[in-house]
Amino acid sequence: MKKGAVFALVFSLVWGFVISVSHADLVTIGTATYEGSSYNLIYDADAPMGSIVWLDYTNGPSNWVGQNNWANGLDTAITSYNIYPAYTVTWNGSWRLPSAGANPQGGYDQTTSELGHLYYEELGLKNFEDRGFVPVSNDELNALNFGNLIASNYWYSTEDIDYPDKAWLFNTIYGGQGTYVKTAAFYALAVHNAQVSTVPIPGAIWLLSSGLLSFVAVRKRKVKKFQRS
């Protein structure tokens, strides 16, 4: 095998890795340390209101104001980030609750909200009726990148413009969303607007190419030795 062919092979392998990552629906890009434990940071490039990173942590039940305060407080509560070497992240804004969108609608199959998009388009789940009236389980919610989703109600950051005492929520058991009084205690997830880029690691590419070239050199020596004998 010629050197040019080897480098072409290396390039195709590395570029194939980069393309596969950049086109993935959900990508775990690293971890964040919160309250002494590490939780996955999951990138969603196709979110309806711009690319976001999910923190794979479900905060225990609290009212709407309490959950908004919790999410906004993550900017200081998260003590460290471990972004994997293949990624670079540009953070925009602050941690927050997911949004129900500019014009939220109640019911099933609502994918213009951030939780609805995650549920239907990224996790590939169906609504309660299409599932034959079978509730979604925790295992189904966590079949892909997530590990800490709970089948229950999650608050959005979005208030009900017609009823100031209510806010929007998403139900991960049935796949529906609607509004409820803000004083009720429900779970929460946090998201952060961000842009994530995938880049080859030069050192890793050099090691891979060097290894392939060494393999070719050894193979050539063995072939020559065999031909002389």
List, for residues 29-79, the tens digit of each pLDDT value.
999 999 999 999 999 999 999 999 999 999 999 999 999 999 999 999 999
Question: Locate tokens 């570029």: which residue?
Answer: 15
- Say what percent of the chain tops pLDDT 90: 75
Q: What average pLDDT does the structure give for the chain?
A: 86
Q: Give dist(CA 21, CA 31) in Å, integer.
A: 17
Element at 57 (helix H, strand E): strand 52-62
Residue 96: alpha-carbon gap to chain centroid: 15
> Of 97, 136, 101, 104, nearest to 120 (Cα)?
136
Over residues 156-184, the mean pLDDT reads 98
**pTM for this structure?**
0.80
Q: Is the predicted pLDDT of residue 213 greater than 90, yes or no?
A: no
Q: Is the predicted pLDDT of residue 22 greater than 50, yes or no?
A: no
Write down how long the chain is.
229
Q: Which residue type sits at 130?
A: D
Q: Is the predicted pLDDT of residue 13 greater than 90, yes or no?
A: no
Tokens describing residue 167: 């806010």
Q: Is the predicted pLDDT of residue 15 greater than 50, yes or no?
A: no
Q: Which of 36-40, 149-153, 206-210 has the lowest mean pLDDT?
A: 206-210
Mention every residue, 6+ apart, whose C-beta is less than 8 A from residue 37: none
> Of 125, 120, 146, 200, nearest to 28 (Cα)?
146
Q: How confident is the model at residue 25 (pLDDT cuts 50, 70, 90)?
A: confident
Buried b (16+ CB within 10 A) or exposed e, 171-194: bbebbbbbbbebeeebbbbbbbbb
Mention every residue, 6+ apart, whose C-beta is less than 8 A from residue 44: 25, 26, 51, 52, 53, 54, 117, 118, 122
Q: What is the pLDDT of residues 83-123, one digit of tens each?
A: 999 999 999 999 999 999 999 999 999 999 999 999 999 99
Structural domains counted in the chain = 1
**Structural domain containing residue 27:** 3-228
Rg (CA), the chain: 23
Tokens describing residue 208: 């891979």
> Of 32, 51, 49, nearest to 41 (Cα)?
32
Q: Give dist(CA 186, CA 62) in Å, integer.
A: 5
Q: What is the pLDDT of residue 202?
A: 58
